[in-house]
């Protein structure tokens, strides 16, 4: 066990990466600190070095892209997202998700990067970003790389993120023209509790009245945030009145791996997720929530 934890307030991404690399896996990035602080307080983590990235201005930004999408820096807080006119105009789904995260004080500190890089269960923004087909840019000692967010979430406690790498930004492409969004979540309480299950849906009806685009993102039902591809396939090409929800549910069962915890059983989580998925799809197909 490490005797004492050192602290570095990095002023550039390169300085932070060099600091992480110098500790060979015994350094931890601090963004909003909500999760890191709690782990250290509970003596569940005792890294040799804390690398504070909150004073790196390049990581805190929201920029509209030329492709109709937008780029969000990893240090952007949930409150920044909620209040951003660009996000409201371009991908209102992300504002809707941010609005429901915990409470004002936590939204003010918690960052998008911290939410995506949380080991174990990712937060609610991951569901919307999966549904929106987001990509992320990661930087490490070898340079930068861009990957689909879907590929970032590998397994329980496993991200595609090296020991000396930093998530720099998230790129959200423009949603397909005419698509609508919906987000639903369920937790023990509305505020101040981690979500139990959340689902985001981006869907569009084609000219013939059938679903010609559907992408969903979920958390709470697998070791990581997931995209239920089999359920999406069961929905694609159907008109809203002709969806076989039993078939969608069966397909969905093969997308998820819910685990029982001290309070909720795996079967309850699966059932809840199916109900939320159906409601969110129906809501999106009816024109979205906002």
Ligand X SMILES: Cc1cc2nc3c(=O)[nH]c(=O)nc-3n(C[C@H](O)[C@H](O)[C@H](O)COP(=O)(O)OP(=O)(O)OC[C@H]3O[C@@H](n4cnc5c(N)ncnc54)[C@H](O)[C@@H]3O)c2cc1C
Sign of the Cα pseudo-torsion (217, 77, 174, 186, in order): positive
Of 33, 92, 173, 240, the one binding ligand X (CB under 6 A) is 33
Residue of minimal Cβ distance to ligand X: 114
Phi, psi dihedral angles at 270 (to 5 degrees): -65, -40
Of 13, 17, 19, 32, the one binding ligand X (CB under 6 A) is 32
Phi, psi dihedral angles at 86 (to 5 degrees): -65, -45
Of 226, 230, 219, 217, which Cα lies nearest the Cα of 272? 219
Q: In terms of DSSP H, where are the helices of 141-244? A: 149-152, 229-235
Of 10, 13, 19, 30, the one binding ligand X (CB under 6 A) is 30
Of 245, 184, 191, which Cα lies nearest the Cα of 218? 184
By C-beta, is 27 or 248 nearer to ligand X?
27
Query: Would you call 261 exposed, middle or buried from its count of C-beta atoms within 10 A (0-12, 13-18, 19+)?
Result: exposed
Tell me the number of residues near ligand X by CB under 6 A: 29
Scan residues 115-174 and list those touching ligand X (CB under 6 A): 115, 117-118, 123-124, 166-167
Give the binding range for ligand X (CB under 6 A) out of 23-31, 87-95, 141-149, 233-241.
23-31
By C-beta, is 153 or 248 nearer to ligand X?
153
By C-beta, is 102 or 248 nearer to ligand X?
102
Integer Cα distance of 250 and 230 in angstroms: 9
The CA-based dihedral angle spanning residues 166, 218, 279, 131, taken in that order and rounded to the nearest 10 degrees: 50
Of 180, 246, 170, 250, which Cα lies nearest the Cα of 215? 180
Site string for ligand X, 167-206 (x = CB under 6 A): x------------------------xxxx-----------
By C-beta, is 181 or 238 nearer to ligand X?
181
Integer Cα distance of 125 and 130 in angstroms: 9
Q: CB 243 → ligand X: shortest distance, Å?
A: 28
By C-beta, is 123 or 249 nearer to ligand X?
123
User: Strands of 62-64's sheet, edge to edge?
Assistant: 62-64, 70-73, 166-172, 135-140, 143-148
Q: CB 278 → ligand X: shortest distance, Å?
A: 22
Integer Cα distance of 119 and 33 in angstroms: 14
Site string for ligand X, 223-252 (x = CB under 6 A): ------------------------------
By C-beta, is 33 or 173 nearer to ligand X?
33
Q: Per CB under 6 A, does 31 bind ligand X?
A: yes
Read off the DSSP letter of residue 152: H
Site string for ligand X, 83-112 (x = CB under 6 A): ------------------xx---x--xxx-
Q: 178 and 209 in contact (C-beta within 8 Å)?
A: no
Q: CB 236 → ligand X: shortest distance, Å?
A: 28
Scan residues 38-77 and list those touching ligand X (CB under 6 A): 74
Q: 72 and 137 in contact (C-beta within 8 Å)?
A: no
**Where do contacts with ligand X occur on this chain (CB under 6 A)?**
28-36, 74, 101-102, 106, 109-111, 113-115, 117-118, 123-124, 166-167, 192-195
């Amino acid at each position: 066990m490490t005797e004492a934890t050192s602290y570095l307030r990095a002023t550039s991404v390169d300085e932070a990466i060099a600091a992480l690399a110098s500790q060979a896996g015994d350094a931890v990035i601090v963004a909003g600190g909500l999760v890191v602080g709690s782990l250290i307080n509970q003596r569940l983590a005792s890294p040799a070095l804390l690398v504070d990235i909150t004073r790196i201005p390049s990581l805190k930004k929201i920029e509209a892209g030329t492709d109709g999408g937008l780029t969000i820096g990893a240090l952007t807080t949930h409150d920044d997202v909620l209040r951003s006119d660009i996000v409201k105009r371009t991908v209102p789904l992300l504002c809707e998700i941010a609005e429901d995260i915990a409470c004002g004080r936590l939204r003010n500190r918690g960052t998008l990067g911290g939410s995506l890089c949380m080991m174990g269960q990712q937060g609610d923004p991951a569901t919307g970003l999966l549904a929106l087909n987001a990509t992320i840019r990661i930087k490490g000692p070898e340079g930068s790389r861009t990957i689909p967010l879907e590929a970032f979430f590998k397994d329980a406690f496993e991200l595609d993120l090296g020991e000396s790498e930093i998530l720099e930004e998230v790129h959200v492409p423009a949603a397909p023209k005419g698509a609508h969004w919906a987000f639903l979540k369920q937790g023990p309480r509305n505020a101040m509790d981690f979500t139990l299950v959340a689902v985001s849906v981006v869907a569009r009806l084609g000219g013939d009245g059938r679903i010609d685009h559907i992408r969903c993102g979920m958390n709470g039902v697998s070791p990581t945030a997931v995209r239920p591809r089999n359920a999406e396939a069961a929905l694609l090409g159907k008109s809203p009145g002709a969806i076989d929800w039993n078939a969608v549910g069966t397909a969905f069962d093969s997308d998820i791996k819910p685990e029982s915890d001290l309070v909720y059983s795996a079967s309850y989580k699966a059932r809840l997720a199916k109900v939320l998925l159906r409601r969110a799809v129906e809501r999106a197909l009816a024109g979205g929530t906002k």
